[in-house]
Amino acid sequence: MSGVKLDRVVKTYGAVQVVHGIDLHIKPKEFVVLVGPSGCGKSTTLRMIAGLEEISGGTIAIDGRVVNRVAPKDRDVAMVFQNYALYPHLSVAENIAFGLRIRRTPREEIRRSVAEVAEILGLTQYLERRPADLSGGQRQRVAMGRAIVRHPKVFLFDEPLSNLDAKLRTQMRAEIRRLHNRLGVTSIYVTHDQVEAMTLADRIVVMNGGRIEQIGTPMELFTNPANLFVAGFIGSPPMNQLRGRVVRDADGPAVMIRDIRVRLPRDVSVEDSQEVLLGVRPEHVLLAARSNATPVPISLDLVEPLGSEALLHAEIHGQPFVIKAPTQGDVGRFSGLDMIHLPAEELKVFDAETGRSLITHQVSGG
Amino acid sequence: MTQWNMYSRGDKIFAMTCAILVGMFTAATLYPFIYIAAVSFSSGFAATAGKVVLTPIDFTVEAYRFILGDPRFWNSYKNTFIYTIGGTAMSLVLIIPAAYALSRPQLVGRRFWNLFIAFTMWFNAGMIPFFLNMRDLGLLDSMFGIIIGFAVNAFNIILLRNFFESIPRSFEEAARMDGANEFQVLWKVFVPLAKPAIATITLFCIVSRWNGFFWAMVLLQSEEKIPLQVFLRHTIANLSDTEEFAMTALDASYSAETITAAIIVCSILPVLIVYPFIQRYFEKGILLGGVKE
């Protein structure tokens, strides 16, 4: 099985540099998701691995072979495109077989391979249909079939689920992960949807402005974001950020948010009077008092029931704050809520200027 | 009817005005066809006397009998088919790769080449230089000269180029990743996807070749190489002067007018037969070629 290694890869368009020397080592059989906002360079990076974009600097190696000057067809990678790119004039079977026909694979082998792939993807009964006669999910499966029929070393997915509705996306997400578990082929997946990234990836690469912000397992990124960008991007709803100033006393470090004093975890590297942003995940907020949790007064603005949970939109001294809390079947329990509790061990602290995490001892995310 | 009652007075007047205008336009377009057909089936006397208006007078097929019995008519008909089929095929062979190349962003000097070709839509060398060019290439009085000399048309190249440009890039990229080379990308992906646009330019080529008259008259001297339109011209010019015609037309069952009309009917018939088969592509092709998705 094949790994992919990017070494100081740069991409420029004229005078504009869009990918700034990224390093990334993807292990064989690994499922890596590149995630980030629009224009962060994730799709460009994927296309450089595919060979559809020339690289302006650095090296890309697939299975130990540098492929900088190797044509896409000779890299032994297959790609699933955002718009499926199914040929409308060909049937499902012909679409899946296209790559094999181009490579002059014997007819009998093509027939066998197409049947096998159709069986895996549940497309057997649709083989004679044209793409226009299929649903979005079926088209997506055909696009995957076209990729897997060649048994490539690496699968590349360029936002393959973004054209599907929410329900189908959830279903297809699970199918892609099952397929990866079954085939065990190294996969690189691009998305801007952090939920897709969290659910699919062995490791997530968070990109921003053509740079890698952090690489880690989904839980590592969720639990120990390296900076404010990752903290805000991973998790839904995003992490709350409260601006304050550090104070120190006998009890250890704390942050003053005007007159509210919030105790910090001990493993934090802060200086007195340093301006910081306190990060609190909406789901880590406590509604009941507990030892080692600081009580904080809030003014509740709006309750959004989601079923088993609700999103409570509030303010702390004019700073917006979201709480995710279980409804226990009754949204009315939140009326009159004016106090929450922030457990010190769940708080994150970021430098207000650089956005870097100031937590020194990173808790393992599993 | 219920819907009609829902319209305001102004809307009704507008709709009726539109209907009348469309009706008049349709009548103005159809009438020449109906008139020519009616003349071709009328007696020579009625046609010459100007009695034919809408339907044949003294119905007869003598004019058709006369031209269908003339071996020169059949020879020019055959020539027109050769120029139309050969010329259209030659045009497609040259236009499709040219349009594909011009649509590719990686083509070196793409802007220049596009301008170079589009330039000829507004400015060309003119009649005399073109004639001299054909003469110097040894293509005077040559059937191949007629086929190759008018094979490339800038408008058709640009129409098809626009269509190729509107095809999402991922089709090409998917084919490339599957191992297709440039020719396979064109032949197996772009040509099938561009069927509406290709059908449109095919129809343009067929109609222009079928009706080709001026250059065939200028470049071809041998009687046995002339197409139908030139034969028609010769017939109109010479028919009433010939002794043979004067003798045979004495019974007035046909005349120069009815024979001309019969040749016109015979010449437009194949285009009328082909058009309905390509029409659906024709409309789609014109629209799609200009729209970028």
Q: Which residue of A has its CA nearest to B169?
A: A85
Q: Which residue of A has its CA nearest to B174?
A: A85
**CATH number among 3.40.50.2300, 2.70.70.10, 2.40.50.140, 3.30.360.10, domain A237-351:** 2.40.50.140
pTM of the model: 0.80
Give me the residues paired with residue A293 across strands.
A343
Tokens encoding B19: 């209907």
Q: What is the pLDDT of residues B278-288, one digit of tens each?
A: 777 666 554 44
Q: pLDDT at position B290, please? A: 36
Taking only the tens of pLDDT, chain B with its 293 residues reads: 567 778 888 889 999 999 999 999 999 999 999 999 999 998 888 887 788 888 888 888 888 888 888 888 899 989 999 999 999 999 999 999 999 999 998 889 999 999 998 888 888 778 898 889 889 998 888 889 989 988 888 999 999 999 999 888 889 999 999 999 989 999 999 999 888 889 888 888 988 898 888 888 888 888 888 998 888 888 777 765 655 555 455 566 778 888 888 988 988 888 888 778 777 766 655 444 433 33
Give me the residues paired with residue A66 across strands.
A61
CATH 3.40.50.300, applies to A4-229 = yes
Query: What number is the ipTM of this complex?
Result: 0.82
Q: Which residue of B has its CA nearest to A155?
A: B177
Cβ of A102 and B174 within 8 Å?
A: no
Q: What domains does chain B contain, in order, with CATH numbers? A: 2-11+15-21+23-40 (no CATH), 79-229+269-288 (1.10.3720.10)
Cβ of B189 and A81 within 8 Å?
A: no
Q: Which residue of A has its CA nearest to B175?
A: A99
CB contacts under 8 A, A 28-57 vs B, are 50-52
Q: Is the Cβ of A72 closer than 8 Å to some Cβ of chain B?
A: yes
* Coil, helix or strand at residue A189: strand
Closest approach of B173 to chain A, Cα-based (Å): 7
Q: What is the pLDDT of residues B171-188, one digit of tens each?
A: 999 999 999 998 999 999
Dump the DSSP string for B66-129.
Answer: HHHT-HHHHHHHHHHHHHHHHHHHHHHHHHHHHHHHHH-TTSTTHHHHHHHHHHHHH----HHH
Cβ of A83 and B170 within 8 Å?
A: yes
Q: pLDDT at position B45, please? A: 81
Domain boundaries, chain A: 4-229, 237-351
Closest approach of B174 to chain A, Cα-based (Å): 7
Q: What percent of chain A has pLDDT over 70?
A: 98
Tokens encoding A158: 């360029």
Q: Is the Cβ of A96 closer than 8 Å to some Cβ of chain B?
A: no
Q: pLDDT at position B197, please? A: 87
Taking only the tens of pLDDT, chain A with its 366 residues reads: 579 999 999 999 989 999 999 999 999 999 999 999 999 999 999 999 999 999 999 999 999 999 999 999 999 999 999 888 899 889 999 999 999 999 999 999 999 999 999 998 889 999 999 998 998 888 988 999 999 898 899 999 999 888 888 888 888 888 899 989 988 999 999 999 999 999 999 999 999 999 999 999 999 999 999 999 999 999 889 999 999 999 987 778 899 998 899 988 878 888 888 999 999 999 999 998 888 889 999 999 999 999 899 999 999 999 999 999 999 888 888 888 999 999 988 999 999 999 999 987 654 443
Cβ of A102 and B179 within 8 Å?
A: yes
